[in-house]
């Protein structure tokens, strides 16, 4: 009995020492070494791929943003600012529930199933809004033109991209609200459309923040 | 190019990359676990531990090492979270509550990485990098060690000795996981994954105002998270978060990392038992199921049945534009057929049948190709069952790899395959029967039931992915899933090691004309069939109530 207690204690002591030694290797040396090399070789990427417009940081090219008008009094959800290209819905983002001294961006998905009543309503409302907002006097968006990414929330809620199809149906509206020609705006979208990586990985994308920065420059010039 | 074709090409590229790595990595791992030499750094570590790496252990001693090391790890990780509020380098985040700290400690030590916490607002640098990420290495190394012990049980005879736990675990970390992680982390940083220790800071926004981010050692953790089939995300959105998985290349690369070691271990196995073809038969079984599941997932996800998806015109809810449906399907099958549980799309918003495939993938026991180590030993247990079934058909005492599968071996194997279903079904039933756990559901009806079935399936099989509509941060779920994860990890290991010990004691039986040729395609077919039938019989009623009901209604 006494012997087995001693043996167990000895074994646990060995386990603790193994844990501590390996924590130094994998929990301190490894991440510090990677951080050092990463900061030396890819400082921009290692710190979040921030991008600037007019010399000011306006976000990260990897993190999607909302392009909304300021909240009016009595309003609960802000309206989209139709001057700018709109990204995907962000219904899955979280709200600070712990450590509320911060207002962190909290990534997340809606986790609603295909037969969930709330999701069905969100998708319907989003589709109606996309059709209404993007139709102009001489350009009518059809329901079948609206791609799925325009009316669904992404996995992270921070999707920086939209599909080229969603960018395309916004072109007429953007031209109208900014006093540009449709051809000018379409050219801008085409320039900011990225094909699949190496031709076959993932899907074609348009980075919304980069596109809006370019749009802002174009508006300022014309 | 159509999205379906792009998906197929991505799968082919993935298979090609895995095939290229298969031989060198598999052979290298066989050398690592067969070598008598110790690296200098390993000698320092053994000195620190106070263990002699050359002492051979019989199975009870090996098991005691596994359990002692894991018990200490759970306790340490628990305490680290409990004192987070007083630790420097923790972004000012408060300590984690006892029930959640227990759940998270059990989760990371059992290689599950179920997360009831919200990564970016709960865990500071010290806990993430010095606690959780460390267990990503160690729990993976323990899993491989146990698998290697079982392989030695087949390879050795007339001895009960299975090797030295400390040496196997330390070598797994130092010679396999660490060097591969260094390379993988650098690739991920080059793609855009972040790697810094900055605090919470504000970044300007296009429309004015600012957004608050936290930095972190994300790429270094992401690398071992996938490579060790762990799956615990730095951020809540896991590998859907652009800072963890920035583009379509990093996405495919992360799937590659998930599958790399589990597939290559079949080569290690073949090498160590002295017949590469036995390893190929196991590999073929794993690959058949994996590819089959991916094709089924594509079929249901591209067809996008379900009212909301039909209105939207595609099942893009919970999926990132840069990955699309093709790549997201490969990721979700690869993560649930291994014990990873990382996600680049949210499984709860898959089609009804797609979510069912994720569930079924875990319920197979995560053996195609399974977690690092756990996939191989799980598959070898199924091989023993398949050999036994074949033996019953022809009325011969079954043998596998020159070892008799007698009464005690089949008892150990049977206990192994009963533990996880028992945990899953008993706890799911309890959660459904009690009044309060159901309040955690986001969705109602069949999908609500699936949320709870998924939670216990994920916990007991040490996967860690979720139908994340379930609010799992309650005392009931934190406690019961914590217990389920520990029992689902360590009870099967008891039977694996007992089995390994009993095999190592036997003397080899020479193959005769009546021996079932387990290196032939016929056996692969038998094994695939046995796996599907056993899992189907076990889980069909539960699946019928959840994903099948949802999928067939839409």
How is residue B347 written in tokens? 């499984």
| Domain spans, chain A | 1-47, 49-221
CA distance A10 to B50: 10
Average pLDDT value for residue range B10-17:
98
B38 inside 8 A of chain A by CB = no
Q: In terms of CA atoms, which chain A residue is nearest residue B141? A: A22
Average pLDDT value for residue range B49-73:
97
Average pLDDT value for residue range B44-55:
95
Closest by CA position to B374, among listed B330, B337, B411 = B337
Closest by CA position to B498, among listed B412, B419, B416 = B412
The enclosing H or E element of B378 equals helix B374-394
How is residue B148 written in tokens? 């290697």
A53 min Cα distance to partner chain B (Å): 8
- Residues of chain B above pLDDT 70, percent: 100
b/e per residue B267-283 (b: at least 16 CB within 10 A):
bbbbbbbebbebbbbbb
Average pLDDT value for residue range B292-296:
98
Which 3 state secondary structure label does DSSP give A142? Answer: coil
CA distance A84 to B522: 61
- Residues of chain A above pLDDT 70, percent: 100
**pLDDT tens digits, residue range B383-440?**
999 999 999 988 888 999 999 999 999 999 999 999 999 999 999 999 999 999 999 9
Which 3 state secondary structure label does DSSP give B19? Answer: helix
B234: left (phi over 0), alpha (psi -120 to 50) or beta: alpha
CA distance B547 to B456: 15
B474: left (phi over 0), alpha (psi -120 to 50) or beta: beta
Closest by CA position to A216, among listed A47, A59, A105 = A59
Q: What is the predicted pLDDT for the residue at A1?
A: 54
User: ipTM score here?
Assistant: 0.97
**pLDDT tens digits, residue range A102-131?**
999 999 999 999 999 999 999 999 999 999
| Domain spans, chain B | 3-201+213-553
Distances (CA, A) of B362 to B52, B309, B375, B427, B486: 38, 25, 11, 16, 16
B189 → closest Cβ in A42, A60, A154 = A42
Question: Residue B19's CB: how many other CB atoms inside 10 A?
Answer: 10
Distances (CA, A) of A154 to B107, B330, B492: 26, 17, 37
User: Would you say residue B511 has pLDDT above 90?
Assistant: no
φ/ψ (deg, to 5) at A80: -70, 145
Q: What is the predicted pLDDT for the residue at B469?
A: 93
Q: Which residues of B touch A6 (CB under 8 A)?
A: none
**pLDDT tens digits, residue range B136-170?**
999 999 999 999 999 999 999 999 999 999 999 99
B386 min Cα distance to partner chain A (Å): 37
CA distance B264 to B409: 26
Average pLDDT value for residue range B50-71:
97
CA distance A108 to B422: 32
Average pLDDT value for residue range B342-369:
97
Question: Residue A4's CB: how many other CB atoms inside 10 A?
Answer: 8
Cα A159 from chain centroid (whole Å): 3
- Residues of chain B above pLDDT 90, percent: 97
Q: What is the predicted pLDDT for the residue at A73?
A: 86
The answer to whether A30 contacts B468, with C-beta atoms less than 8 Å apart, is no
CA distance B286 to B295: 15
* Residues pairing with A80 in the sheet: A68
Q: What is the predicted pLDDT for the residue at B122?
A: 95
The answer to whether B248 contacts A111, with C-beta atoms less than 8 Å apart, is no
**pLDDT tens digits, residue range B80-116?**
999 999 999 999 999 999 999 999 999 999 999 999 9
CA distance B501 to A51: 59
**Residue ranges of E strands in A95-221:** 161-162, 193-194, 205-207
User: Would you say residue B68 has pLDDT above 90?
Assistant: yes
A114 → closest Cβ in B138, B191, B352 = B352
Q: What is the predicted pLDDT for the residue at A77?
A: 87
Q: Which residues of B touch A105 (CB under 8 A)?
A: 120, 211-213
CA distance B238 to B241: 6
Closest by CA position to B465, among listed B475, B457, B476, B474 = B457
Closest by CA position to B285, among listed B402, B389, B369, B361 = B369
A222 min Cα distance to partner chain B (Å): 20
**pLDDT tens digits, residue range B461-486?**
999 999 999 999 999 999 999 999 99
DSSP A86: -
**pLDDT tens digits, residue range B239-271?**
999 999 999 999 999 999 999 999 999 999 999
B468 → closest Cβ in A62, A109, A116 = A109
The answer to whether A201 contacts B94, with C-beta atoms less than 8 Å apart, is no
**pLDDT tens digits, residue range B181-206?**
999 999 999 999 999 999 899 999 99
Which residue in B202, B206, B215 has the most chain A C-beta atoms within 10 A of its own C-beta, making it the best mutation to test that interface? B206
DSSP letters, B46-80, are HHHHT--TT---BHHHHHHHHHHHHHHHHHHHHHH
Q: What is the predicted pLDDT for the residue at B63?
A: 98
B302 inside 8 A of chain A by CB = no
The answer to whether B527 and B382 have CB atoms below 8 angstroms apart is yes
The answer to whether A59 contacts B186, with C-beta atoms less than 8 Å apart, is no
Q: Which residues of A touch B193 (CB under 8 A)?
A: 45
* Residues pairing with A194 in the sheet: A205
A105 → closest Cβ in B92, B212, B305 = B212
**pLDDT tens digits, residue range B312-347?**
999 999 999 999 999 999 999 999 999 999 999 999
A137 min Cα distance to partner chain B (Å): 25
**pLDDT tens digits, residue range A40-76?**
999 999 999 999 998 999 999 999 999 999 988 888 8
Q: Which residues of B touch A23 (CB under 8 A)?
A: 130, 134
Query: Which residues are within 8 A (CB) of A55 and not within 5 positions of it... i.e. 6 or more apart?
Result: none
Q: Which residues of B touch A65 (CB under 8 A)?
A: 205-207, 211
Q: In terms of CA atoms, which chain A residue is nearest residue B118? A: A106
The answer to whether A35 contacts B313, with C-beta atoms less than 8 Å apart, is no
The enclosing H or E element of B404 equals strand B403-404
CA distance B36 to B521: 35
How is residue B224 written in tokens? 């071992």
CA distance B263 to B284: 10
The answer to whether B469 contacts A213, with C-beta atoms less than 8 Å apart, is no
CA distance B282 to B26: 13
Please give the interface size between A and B, counted as residue pairs whose CB atoms are below 8 Å apart: 391
Average pLDDT value for residue range A145-157:
98
Q: In terms of CA atoms, which chain B residue is nearest residue A31? A: B220
The answer to whether B186 contacts A37, with C-beta atoms less than 8 Å apart, is yes
The answer to whether A154 contacts B213, with C-beta atoms less than 8 Å apart, is no
Q: What is the predicted pLDDT for the residue at B60?
A: 97
């Amino acid at each position: 009995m006494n012997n087995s207690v001693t043996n167990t204690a000895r074994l646990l002591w060995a386990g603790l020492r193994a844990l501590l030694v390996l924590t130094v290797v994998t929990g301190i040396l490894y991440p510090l070494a990677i951080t050092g090399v990463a900061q030396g070789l890819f400082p921009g990427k290692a710190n979040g791929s921030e991008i600037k417009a007019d010399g000011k940081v306006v976000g990260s090219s990897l993190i999607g943003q909302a392009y909304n008008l300021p909240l009016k009094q009595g309003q609960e959800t802000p309206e989209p600012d139709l001057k700018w290209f709109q990204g995907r819905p962000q219904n899955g983002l979280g709200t600070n529930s712990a450590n509320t001294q911060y207002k962190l961006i909290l990534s997340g998905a809606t986790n609603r199933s295909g037969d969930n009543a709330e999701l069905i309503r969100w998708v319907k409302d989003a589709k109606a809004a996309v059709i209404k907002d993007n139709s102009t006097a001489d350009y009518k968006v059809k329901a079948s033109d609206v791609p799925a990414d325009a009316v669904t929330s992404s996995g992270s809620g921070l999707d920086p991209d939209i599909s080229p199809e969603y960018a395309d149906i916004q072109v007429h509206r953007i031209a109208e609200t900014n006093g540009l020609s449709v051809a000018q705006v379409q050219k801008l979208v085409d320039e900011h459309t990225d094909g699949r990586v190496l031709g076959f990985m993932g899907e074609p994308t348009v980075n919304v923040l980069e596109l809006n920065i370019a749009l802002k420059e174009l508006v300022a010039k014309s | 190019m159509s999205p379906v074709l792009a998906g197929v090409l991505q799968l082919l590229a993935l298979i090609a990359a895995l095939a290229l790595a298969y031989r060198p990595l598999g052979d290298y791992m066989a050398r690592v676990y067969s070598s008598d030499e110790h690296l200098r750094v390993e000698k320092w570590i053994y000195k620190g531990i106070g263990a002699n790496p050359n002492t051979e252990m019989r199975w009870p001693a090996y098991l005691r090492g596994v359990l002692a090391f894991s018990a200490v790890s759970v306790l340490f990780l628990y305490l680290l979270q409990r004192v987070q509020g007083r630790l420097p380098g923790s972004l000012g985040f408060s300590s984690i509550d006892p029930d959640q700290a227990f759940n998270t400690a059990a989760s990371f030590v059992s290689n599950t990485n179920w997360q009831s916490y919200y990564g970016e607002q709960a865990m500071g640098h010290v806990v993430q990098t010095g606690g959780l990420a460390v267990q990503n290495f160690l729990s993976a190394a323990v899993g491989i060690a146990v698998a290697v012990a079982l392989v030695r049980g087949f390879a050795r005879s007339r001895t009960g000795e299975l090797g030295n736990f400390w040496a196997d675990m330390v070598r797994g970390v130092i010679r396999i996981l660490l060097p591969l992680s260094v390379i993988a982390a650098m690739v991920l940083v080059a793609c855009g994954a972040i790697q810094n220790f900055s605090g919470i800071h504000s970044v300007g926004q296009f429309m004015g105002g600012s957004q608050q981010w936290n930095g972190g050692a994300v790429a270094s953790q992401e690398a071992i998270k996938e490579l060790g089939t762990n799956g615990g995300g730095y951020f809540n959105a896991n590998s859907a978060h652009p800072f963890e998985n920035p583009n379509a290349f990093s996405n495919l690369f992360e799937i590659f990392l998930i599958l790399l070691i589990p597939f290559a271990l079949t080569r290690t196995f073949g090498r160590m038992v002295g017949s590469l073809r036995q390893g190929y038969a196991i590999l073929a079984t794993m690959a058949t199921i994996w590819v089959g599941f991916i094709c089924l997932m594509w079929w249901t996800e591209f067809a996008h049945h379900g009212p909301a998806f039909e209105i939207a015109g595609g099942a893009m809810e919970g999926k990132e534009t840069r990955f699309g449906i093709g790549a997201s399907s490969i990721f979700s099958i690869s993560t649930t057929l291994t014990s990873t549980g990382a996600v680049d799309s949210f499984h709860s918003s898959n089609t009804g049948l797609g979510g069912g495939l994720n569930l079924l993938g875990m319920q197979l026991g995560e053996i195609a190709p399974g977690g690092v180590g756990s996939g191989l030993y799980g598959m070898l247990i199924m091989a023993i069952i398949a050999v036994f079934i074949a033996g019953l058909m022809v009325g011969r005492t079954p043998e596998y790899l020159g070892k008799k599968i007698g009464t005690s071996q089949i008892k150990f194997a049977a206990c192994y395959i009963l533990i996880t279903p028992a945990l899953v079904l008993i706890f799911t039933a309890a959660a459904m029967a009690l009044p309060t756990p159901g309040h955690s559901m986001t969705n109602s009806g069949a999908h609500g039931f699936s949320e709870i079935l998924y939670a216990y399936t994920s916990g007991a099989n040490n996967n860690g992915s979720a139908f994340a509509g379930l609010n799992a941060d309650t005392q009931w779920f934190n406690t019961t899933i914590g217990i389920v994860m520990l029992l689902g990890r360590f009870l099967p290991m008891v039977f694996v090691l007992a089995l390994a010990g009993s095999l190592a004691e036997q003397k080899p039986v020479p193959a005769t004309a009546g021996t079932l040729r387990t290196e032939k395609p016929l056996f692969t077919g038998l094994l695939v069939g046995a796996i599907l039938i056993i899992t189907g019989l076990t889980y069909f009623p539960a699946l019928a109530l959840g994903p099948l009901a949802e999928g067939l209604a839409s």
